[in-house]
Amino acid sequence: MRRHRSRSDGLSPLVAVILLIAITVAAAVVVSGVFFNLAAAAGRRPTVLIDQVKLVATPTGAATLSIVLKNTGDIAIHPSFGPFASLTGVPAGCGLTAPSTWSGSRNPGGTLSGSSVATTGCSALIGSTIIVTVTVTFAVGSVQILTTSVTGTIA
């Protein structure tokens, strides 16, 4: 009688341990990459401040409103969505509207300015307070709404 020796064709224990370590390291790299990408996105700050608002009116009825916004965050303001401004409390008969065009830098650290002019009917703004609301959309899609008040001064 001949005896056949049984032979197993599996992995050696050393190769199995090396493969297990490699798979674990690869999984750790993938998980840490996802985590750090999420953490970086969460750390971005879309922030704008109203740096300056001026309302100047004349006794003859002309008025000028100017608004300066400063991007203090690290995300640019969207190039084609606003900012949009609205005014509350403008006296009847005064044709003063919110600025619709803005000039300046939309990038982080930059400033945007907008102004509007009314030529008649706004003498009642001298000493009156109006509410200015500005809606800013950032390049990542987030929105910030800013509200302030401004009192008209005489020119």
- Quick: pLDDT tens for 83-108: 999 999 999 899 999 999 999 999 99
pLDDT of 16 reads 82
Q: How many CB atoms lie within 10 A of CB 77?
A: 25
Q: How many CB atoms lie within 10 A of CB 144?
A: 16
- The two tokens of residue 69 are 């916004």
pLDDT of 45 reads 79
Q: Is 128 in a helix, a strand, or coil? A: coil
pTM for this predicted structure: 0.71
Q: 116-133: b or e for each residue (b if 16 or more CB lie within 10 Å)?
A: bebeebbbbbbebebebe
pLDDT at 7 over 80: no
pLDDT at 46 over 90: no
* Spatial distance between the Cα atoms of 140 and 42, rounded to a whole number of angstroms: 12
* Spatial distance between the Cα atoms of 72 and 68, rounded to a whole number of angstroms: 13
pLDDT at 73 over 80: yes
Assign 62 a pLDDT band (cuts: 50, 70, 90): very high
